[in-house]
Amino acid sequence: MNFINKLNAAWAANDSLLCVGLDPDMDRLPAQFRGTPDGIYHFCKEIIDATADLACAFKPQIAYFAALGAEGQLERIGAYLRDRHPHIPLILDSKRGDIGATAKQYAREAYDRYGADAVTVSPYMGADSVEPYMEWRDRGVIVLCRTSNQGGSDLQFLEVNGKPLYQHVAQLVADKWNSNGQCALVVGATFPEEIRAVRAIVGEMPLLIPGIGAQGGDIEATVRAGRTDAGAGMMINSSRAILYATPQAGEDFAQAARRVADETRHAINAHR
C-alpha cells in the first residue's frame, strides 16, 4: 500500500484528520522521562498508544532528536509504530533539501532507517532535489509550500508572474513533480485564504497543515479552506498542545494528551 492509500485508509478508520506531532522537548517532558537514556522513546511510545485511534498520522520532528543525539530513540519509535499501529502513517519532519546523490542519502535515512511513510522536503533546490525520493514508490514526499511562521512571507510571498511564490511551488508540484502521485504539500494554518488558494491549484492532493494548537491557527477556517469534496485531504498537525497538555484532576499526561487530541479531532470534524 502506498503512502496516499495508507493515509486515506487512516482518515477513514479513525474518522480523523488529526496528525499528532512528536516534538519531545527535554525541558517539558514529565519528570519520570527526564535524564533517562531512553526517556524520549518511552514518552513518545505512551503518546502514540494514547492517541493511535484518534490520529491519521504521527509526525516526529527530527530536530528534537538530533539536538540530543537521540536518533536511536527515533529508530525505536518508528519500529514500534510499524509493529503496533501499522495502519497509521509515520511522517518524518526533516525538511531536507539537497542535490541528487545527497538527496538519495536523505531518502535512505527517512525511509530505510526510520521507516517513514513520508518525509517533508524543501523545494528551494528544485526538481532534482526531490526526484531521488520518488524511487521509493510506496512512500510520500511532502513539499514545503506556505509555512506558518511570520518569516515565511520573506520568500514565499514574493510575486512571480503575478502570483506569490508559494502558489508557483504548488503549481510546480501539481503539474510536474507529482507525476507518480506521491506528493503532498505543507501549508500553514495561520493563513486560511492561502490554504484555499493552494487547494484550488492542487485538486485532491493531501495537505499537511501545521499551525493549530500552540501556534494559534483557527480550526474552523482551516478546515473550510482546505477540505476536499470528500471532506478529507488534510493532515492537520498539533504537537505541543497535545504532548504537553495540562492534566486535569485524575489524569496523567497521556490521558491529558488523549483528551486534547480527541477534542481537536472533534473540533476538526465539526467543519468537514
Can you tell me the distance from the alpha carbon of 246 to that of 248, in angstroms, rounded to the nearest whole number?
7
Decide if 95 is catalytic: yes
Look up residue 3 and give its three cell numbers: 503512502
Which residues of the shown chain bind its own copies in the complex (CB under 8 A)?
23, 25, 61, 63-64, 66-67, 69, 71-72, 75, 95-103, 105-106, 108-109, 112-113, 122-131, 144, 147-156, 158-161, 165, 168-169, 172
For residue 45, the minimal CB distance to its own copies (Å) is 20
| 60 vs 89 by CB, closer to its own copies | 60
Can you tell me the distance from the alpha carbon of 100 to that of 124, in angstroms, rounded to the nearest whole number?
13
For residue 54, the minimal CB distance to its own copies (Å) is 24
For residue 230, the minimal CB distance to its own copies (Å) is 30
For residue 272, the minimal CB distance to its own copies (Å) is 27
Among the listed residues 6, 45, 59, 95, the single catalytic one is 95
Question: Taking the CA of residue 113 as centre, how many other CA atoms within 13 Å lie in the half-sphere pointing to its CB?
Answer: 15
Question: Taking the CA of residue 143 as centre, how many other CA atoms within 13 Å lie in the half-sphere pointing to its CB?
Answer: 30
For residue 174, the minimal CB distance to its own copies (Å) is 14
| 11 vs 177 by CB, closer to its own copies | 177
Would you name the residues annotated as active-site residues? 95
